[in-house]
Amino acid sequence: MAITKTDAGTYFVEVFYPKDIRDIIGVKTLRYRKTVATKLEAKALQKKVEDKIKEAQRKASAGSIQTNGEILFKDFYREVWWPLYTAGGSGRIRVVPSEETQVNTQNIFRLHLLPLFGDYSLNYLNLNKQFVVQELSILAEKYANIRTVKAYVRQVFEVAEIMDYIDANRIEKALRLVGSPKKERLATRRKMTGSSLSADEMIAWLDAAKEDFENRKLSFQDYLLLLMTLNLGDRKGESYGLQWKHIDFNTGYVLIIQALKKSGKIGPTKANKETSHQIPAFLIPLLKEWKEQQAKELADVNIQAGPDQFLFTYTNFRGGINQPLHADYLNYRLNSIYKRHAEELVRVTPHKLRHTFSTLAHQGGASLELISEALTHSDIKTTRIYVNTPDVVGLDVHNKFAERIAEARKNSLAQEMKLNETR
């Protein structure tokens, strides 16, 4: 847009209309020119045309947003949000999610969000907050991890707003109304039943596992896997990821440096730490015996066991031998032991074994700092959650209380005697 003075002393205003708004303002030609007598009139005309173009652009943008917003939630998730998410472009922290995290996210959308909202448009959901809150509240009654679900819904509508699919994110504040009833019920139940086994309950489990091993109902590998996971206090994926090169029989240490992910691939530990654990003495001969037995079994099928050989493997349903363990392998073995000894055992999971390790170690005198190092926690506050031991209040506290009462009583008597003397 320009103002030009002519040789005759008049002024003309020249405008080139953007192609995308010509239809909106009813102009067919690309260029608009008009001559006026004075520069003041030219400036007034220029402003009028500029305002007209801006208004047309605003309407075009609003119309585009309205049209974009009609995209279905499931299509927006697949075509827009998911590519951004896998590139680390969604969420408050711009970090590329791990392969395992991506799989977990896909499952949350597949199992929960797409069935709930997939066939609704973004505009409908954004304008019907009550519907979204009601659906998520119903889900929260039966699904404990509702906080993660809410986070993904929030991210979807944040991206939709930024990418001009909706004019404003009306969902974010409404999500605060969705509580976590299932999670709270589970937390209450854990407080009542305990997040860890008592020493006596743990002894019952060890005895049951040993009995099954001796009766050949539990294989040598599975018995050793249970003992290793319990006595190291590690995560089950870290036990799954152990290779013989991580076992040093000369020093008696095992190096926890990696974990086997749900995807079946090796990755860093959850805390990205390398931890060297001294192996309990009773486990060393068992490890040596298993190493020899495993090498012989593998040699029988023409597999040579080297330093990279996993300590624990299985044969999958396709017949593939010497495969890294699947994510629920130890859970299944614990369940089978429990079913055989249901009358004397309390149900347990690999994660509950980790709680038990930390709790019993603390009861045995280990400090929170040492337990935190063993569990590879980045923050000791996390360790406090794992140590399910009530605070013990001894007589020292009571004695201090009694001393303060006695002191006050003594002072009161002294004041009373002094008052009597003055009388």
Give the 3-state DSSP-derived string for 134-194, with helices as H, strands as E and coil as C.
HHHHHHHHHCCCHHHHHHHHHHHHHHHHHCCCCCCCCCCHHHHHCCCHHHHHHHHHHHHHC
For position 289, which CATH number holds?
A: 1.10.443.10
Whether 81 has a pLDDT exceeding 60, the answer reads: yes
Claim to verify: residue 128 and residue 40 sit in the same structural domain: no
The domain in which residue 169 lies consists of: 78-190
Cα 240 to the center of its chain, rounded Å: 21
Report how far residue 381's alpha carbon sits from residue 388's, in angstroms, rounded to the nearest whole number.
Answer: 13
pLDDT for the residue numbered 392: 44
pLDDT for the residue numbered 222: 97
Of residues 40 and 319, more confidently modeled: 319
Claim to verify: residue 150 and residue 186 sit in the same structural domain: yes
* pLDDT bucket at 187, cuts 50 / 70 / 90: confident
Claim to verify: residue 201 and residue 260 sit in the same structural domain: yes
Claim to verify: residue 247 and residue 382 sit in the same structural domain: yes
Neighbouring CB atoms inside 10 A of 393's CB total: 8
pLDDT for the residue numbered 195: 74
* pLDDT bucket at 141, cuts 50 / 70 / 90: very high
pLDDT for the residue numbered 30: 56
Domain count, the chain: 4
Per-position b or e across 341-364, b if 16+ CB within 10 A of its CB: eeeebbebebebbbbbbbbbbbee
Task: Find which of 149-158, 226-235, 396-405 is predicted with most confidence, using mean pLDDT.
Answer: 149-158
pLDDT for the residue numbered 418: 73
Claim to verify: residue 325 and residue 207 sit in the same structural domain: yes
Of residues 70 and 375, more confidently modeled: 70
- The residue with tokens 């090796």 is 266
Domain boundary pick from 25, 42, 68: 68
Claim to verify: residue 368 and residue 398 sit in the same structural domain: no
* pLDDT bucket at 83, cuts 50 / 70 / 90: very high
Domain boundary pick from 190, 219, 250: 190
Claim to verify: residue 12 and residue 90 sit in the same structural domain: no
pLDDT for the residue numbered 423: 61
Report the largest interatomic distance among the alpha carbons of the chain, rounded to a whole angstrom. Answer: 120
Of residues 390 and 93, more confidently modeled: 93
Distances (CA, A) of 317 to 98, 298, 321, 329, 397: 27, 18, 10, 13, 60
* pLDDT bucket at 275, cuts 50 / 70 / 90: confident
Residue 91 dihedral angles phi and psi, to the nearest 5° = 85, 170
pLDDT for the residue numbered 111: 95
Across the range 380-385, mean pLDDT stands at 64
Whether 104 has a pLDDT exceeding 50, the answer reads: yes
Claim to verify: residue 270 and residue 348 sit in the same structural domain: yes
* pLDDT bucket at 186, cuts 50 / 70 / 90: confident
pLDDT for the residue numbered 217: 96
Claim to verify: residue 31 and residue 85 sit in the same structural domain: no
Single out the residue of 240, 282, 281, 234 nearest to residue 264, CA to CA: 240
